């Protein structure tokens, strides 16, 4: 028994941490990310000036499932509870209901800021009086929606095209990944209440492309001759090409050699510090001390590095 008691005591001591001294300083809390509100920071209205427009503000905070109507003092006048996080648009309708974009999680393909996938109309009590989903792996609504005078809705969506399909239409092959190409499309939806709707009109940016990479591929032409079309490579055409490790090493070696010879590059670290004295021009290795100043070497021109502008 004494041996068993000793073993139990050892186990208890091993599980319990050693007591801290009475004068031990508490551990400092970890720093919050930049821009993150502090726990003791006052929330709500921080500024209200007489020039502010009287009325209410409709709030649909990111990652919150509650929509709030607040006055200029920050008091909540009304709440709508929803079942999903918001998209990027919430509006009052003329009949007093809410029109909102919502997220459908998880989405089978699309992701990123502004993603939605669900359009809902809510009455004053929060009841969903109409629901429409557009969130499959080919089309997903994102960002905004607009009520048309005829009662239909205009919305924007991402349309998926595979990597092979994008390259076949003139997309630069080294700048399209396995996620393919997401092109914008506009859709006019005629609601079928309380659920669903039909597409009565659709405009696809995919149908209005131009490319100047390959004459054997569709939509080939000179960009300046197709002002009403969309360049399929517009988002990467002027990006600097990513350097290989070998090319980067060569460039750095060349820059060091240029600086050794007295040339300066165009980056900030080459510029003299504010208030620092301008260094004297370097003398040739065979220059004689005390030689006539008229024989001094003229100042060397500053050289600017050229940067790549293509992405092919």
Cα distances (angstroms) measured from residue 6 to each of 11, 12, 19, 116: 9, 10, 20, 63
- The pTM of the full predicted model, rounded to 2 decimals, is 0.65
Tell me if residue 29 falls in helix, strand or coil: coil
Could you tell me the mean pLDDT of each successive run of 10 residues in the chain, 312 residues long?
43 47 63 67 82 93 93 94 95 96 94 95 97 97 97 98 95 90 97 96 96 94 93 83 81 87 62 56 50 44 38 36
Closest CA to 143 of 165, 158, 162, 121: 158
pLDDT, position 271: 53
Burial 16-42 (b: 16+ CB within 10 A, else e): eeeeeeeeeeeeeeeeeeeeeeeeeee
pLDDT, position 63: 83
Omega within 30 of 0 (cis) for the link into 106: yes
Q: Name residues whose C-beta falls within 8 Å of residue 188's C-beta, 6 or more positions apart in sequence.
A: 148, 152, 153, 154, 199, 200, 201, 202
Q: Name residues whose C-beta falls within 8 Å of residue 294's C-beta, 6 or more positions apart in sequence.
A: none
pLDDT, position 299: 47
Closest CA to 179 of 199, 196, 193, 158: 158
| Rg of the chain, C-alpha, whole Å | 32
pLDDT, position 183: 96
Do residues 205 and 193 make contact, with C-beta atoms less than 8 angstroms apart?
no
Q: How many CA atoms lie within 13 A of 78 on its CB side?
A: 12
Closest CA to 69 of 90, 47, 48, 46: 90
């Amino acid at each position: 028994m004494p041996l068993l008691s000793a073993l139990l005591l050892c186990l208890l001591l091993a599980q319990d941490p050693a007591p801290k001294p009475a004068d031990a300083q508490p551990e400092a809390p970890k720093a919050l990310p930049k821009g993150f509100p502090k726990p003791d920071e006052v929330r709500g209205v921080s500024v209200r000036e007489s020039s502010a427009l009287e009325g209410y503000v409709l709030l649909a905070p990111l990652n919150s499932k509650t929509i709030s109507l607040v006055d200029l003092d920050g008091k909540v006048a009304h709440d709508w509870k929803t079942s999903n996080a918001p998209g990027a648009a919430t509006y009052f309708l003329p009949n007093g209901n809410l029109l909102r974009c919502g997220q459908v999680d998880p989405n089978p393909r699309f992701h990123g800021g502004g993603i939605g996938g669900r359009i809902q109309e809510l009455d004053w009590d929060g009841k969903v009086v109409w629901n429409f989903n557009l969130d499959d792996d080919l089309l997903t609504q994102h960002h905004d929606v607009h009520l048309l005078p005829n009662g239909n809705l205009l919305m924007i969506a991402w349309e998926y095209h595979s990597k092979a399909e994008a390259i076949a239409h003139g997309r630069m092959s080294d700048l399209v990944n396995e996620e393919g190409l997401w092109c914008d499309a506009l859709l006019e939806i005629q609601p079928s209440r309380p659920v669903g709707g039909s597409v009565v009109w659709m405009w696809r940016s995919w149908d209005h492309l131009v490319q100047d990479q390959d004459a054997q591929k569709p939509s080939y032409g000179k960009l300046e001759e197709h002002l009403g079309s969309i360049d399929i490579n517009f988002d990467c055409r002027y990006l600097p090409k990513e350097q290989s490790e070998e090319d980067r090493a060569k460039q750095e070696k060349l820059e060091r050699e240029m600086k050794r010879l007295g040339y300066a590059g165009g980056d900030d670290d080459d510029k003299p510090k504010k208030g620092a004295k301008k260094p004297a021009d370097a003398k040739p290795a065979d220059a004689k001390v005390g030689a006539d100043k008229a024989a001094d070497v003229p100042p060397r021109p500053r050289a600017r590095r050229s940067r790549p502008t293509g992405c092919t």
